[in-house]
């Protein structure tokens, strides 16, 4: 199973109809479409990306499926998550990060160790009890390895009584392989 599917599986198990869900790196919109379907008509999805071209690609994907309810916002997810945390703290059923650059797009526009270090704690504040956050990282090049180490440090620093955190390694053959982090906020905080 691909790590993208594994991430979606973990999110699907946690989401409830009517939930708020956030795609922090919309890219070509695969995860955004998945989230929109998972939360249903009563739910809300926010999708962020730095690039207008990614927003356009995501919009086309949603339009093709007749989904018009997703809030697409072009901008830095660090700023957007900080803004959202003022109105939606403890409200999100799922938050998805797929780090790196837009496949088929400008490889110079990419998440970084610095932006990810800032974004992850902001996103965590948005998670409701029982909610899930997924972070897919690609340590196959120098900047990706540095960013992946930031994710590892963040995950390993979480309180084990407040969060259940899991690391899933990608398939063998790609060295080093992509790494999926799945974080679930404890239900006991409800
Ligand atoms: C690997 S792609 C996401 C793929 C996407 N999940 C999909 O299903 O197609 C990473 C995306 O993150 C975006 N990005 C990079 N840094 C960002 C930031 N600071 N804030 C928001 N988006 C960012 C890039 O523009 C790129 O489209």
3-state secondary structure labels for all residues of the chain: CCHHHHHHHHHHHHCCCCCEEEECCCCCCHHHHHHHHHHCCCCEEEEEECCHHHHHHHHHHHHHCCCCCCEEEECCHHHHHHHHHHHHCCCEEEEEEECCECCCCCCCCECCHHHHHHHHHHHHHHEEEEEEEEEEECCCCHHHHHHHHHHHHHHHCCCCCCEEEEEEECCCCCCCCCEEEEEEECHHHC
Per-residue pLDDT for 49 more than 90?
Answer: yes
For position 1, what pLDDT does the model report?
81
pLDDT > 70 fraction of the chain, expressed in percent and rounded: 98
pLDDT in tens, 137-161: 999 888 999 999 999 999 999 999 9
Residue 173: partners with Cβ closer than 8 Å, 6 or more residues away: none
pLDDT in tens, 168-188: 998 877 678 999 999 999 997
Ligand 1 pocket test: pick from 29, 31, 45, 50 the residue with the most ligand atoms within 8 Å of its Cβ: 50
For position 153, what pLDDT does the model report?
98
For position 106, what pLDDT does the model report?
86
Cβ–ligand 1 distance for 28 under 6 Å, the answer yes
Per-residue pLDDT for 32 more than 90?
Answer: yes
Nearest-atom number in ligand 1 for the CA of 48 is: 21
Per-residue pLDDT for 190 more than 60?
Answer: no
- Per-residue pLDDT band for 55 (boundaries 50, 70, 90) equals very high
Kindly state the average pLDDT of the residues 66-89. 95
For position 173, what pLDDT does the model report?
73
pTM of the model: 0.97
Cβ–ligand 1 distance for 76 under 6 Å, the answer yes
**Cα–Cα distance between 145 and 134 in angstroms, integer?**
18
Place of tokens 């979606």: 8
Cβ–ligand 1 distance for 181 under 6 Å, the answer no
pLDDT in tens, 5-26: 999 999 999 999 899 999 999 9
Pick the closest to residue 180 from 1, 7, 5, 52 (CA basis).
Answer: 7
């Amino acid at each position: 199973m691909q790590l993208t599917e594994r991430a979606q599986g973990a999110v699907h198990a946690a989401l409830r109809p009517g939930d708020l869900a956030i795609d922090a790196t919309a890219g070509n919109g695969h995860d955004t479409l998945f989230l929109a379907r998972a939360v249903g008509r009563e739910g809300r999805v926010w999708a962020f990306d730095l690039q207008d071209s990614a927003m356009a690609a995501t919009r086309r994907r949603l339009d093709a499926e007749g989904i018009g309810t997703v809030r697409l916002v072009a901008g830095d997810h660090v700023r957007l998550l900080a803004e959202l945390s003022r109105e939606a703290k403890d409200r999100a059923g799922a938050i998805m990060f797929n780090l790196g650059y837009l496949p088929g797009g400008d490889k110079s526009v990419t998440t970084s160790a610095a932006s990810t270090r800032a974004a992850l704690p902001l996103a965590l504040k948005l998670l409701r009890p029982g909610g899930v956050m997924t972070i897919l990282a690609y340590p196959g090049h120098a900047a990706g390895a540095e960013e992946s180490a930031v994710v590892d440090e963040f995950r390993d620093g979480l309180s084990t009584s407040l969060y259940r955190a899991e690391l899933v390694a990608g398939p063998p053959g790609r060295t080093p392989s992509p790494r999926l982090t799945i974080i679930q906020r404890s239900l006991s905080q409800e």
